[in-house]
Amino acid sequence: MSKNRTQKSELLSQYTDLLKNNGGYLLVDTSGLDTPTVTKFKIALKESGSEYTVIKNSVFKIALQEANQPVQTQDFDGQTALISYKEDPTTAAKLIKALQAETEKFGAKLGTINGAYIDASQVMQLAEIPSREVLLAKLLGSMVSPLSGVMNAITGNVRGFTMVLKQLSEKEAK
């Protein structure tokens, strides 16, 4: 369905806001998906902190130029949806990969992470990275383990010293 000039300018401002107010986006091919699958996918994305928006390619390409996005991101066609995220792109990429495994009709086209271009294969590689929370937990664990080792060494020496004193006092008491 064609849009008039005012509708296109409203879409352009909406797309520009999406590009500027989010950490990045992923473009996906939505051809061949049925409505229940898309609805389930939208709900899962919303729960993970991402948004799903079906875009009009010609208007979105203008928004990409206005938002100073990489030139490579303007090379797409066909039925396209935008998945925008604020912080963690890995959860959106994991949902894309899961849906792609479920239906062969769905797939990633391209995206950006903090302004850097990524292609479809890199989106799938992004799905293999643990989520932000898991990475932070691993970092914290690696920072704490040397401290706990030092504490165990110190308390082990103190514990050994107290055991020796206890044995000496028991020996003197006999």
Mean pLDDT of 146-150: 74
Instruction: Report the distance separating Cα 129 and Cα 135, nearest Å.
Output: 9
Angle at Cα 110 formed by Cα 106 and Cα 111, nearest 5°? 120
Decide if pLDDT at 7 tops 80: yes
- 85-139 pLDDT, tens per residue? 988 888 889 999 988 888 877 888 888 888 888 988 898 898 888 877 888 888 8
Of 43, 153, 134, give the one whose Cα is nearest residue 95: 43
For residues 14 and 82, the answer to whether their CB atoms sit within 8 Å is no
- 48-93 pLDDT, tens per residue? 889 999 999 889 989 988 888 887 777 788 889 999 998 888 888 9
Instruction: Report the distance separating Cα 25 and Cα 46, nearest Å.
Output: 14
Decide if pLDDT at 1 tops 70: no
Instruction: Report the distance separating Cα 78 and Cα 56, nearest Å.
Output: 10
Cβ neighbours of residue 105 closer than 8 Å, sequence gap 6 or more: 29, 31, 32, 33
Mean pLDDT of 162-167: 84
Residue located via tokens 């369905």:
1
Instruction: Report the distance separating Cα 74 and Cα 52, nearest Å.
Output: 19
Helix (H) or strand (E) holding 51: strand 50-54
Tell me the pTM. Answer: 0.72
Measured from the Cβ of residue 64, the count of other Cβ atoms closer than 10 Å reads: 20
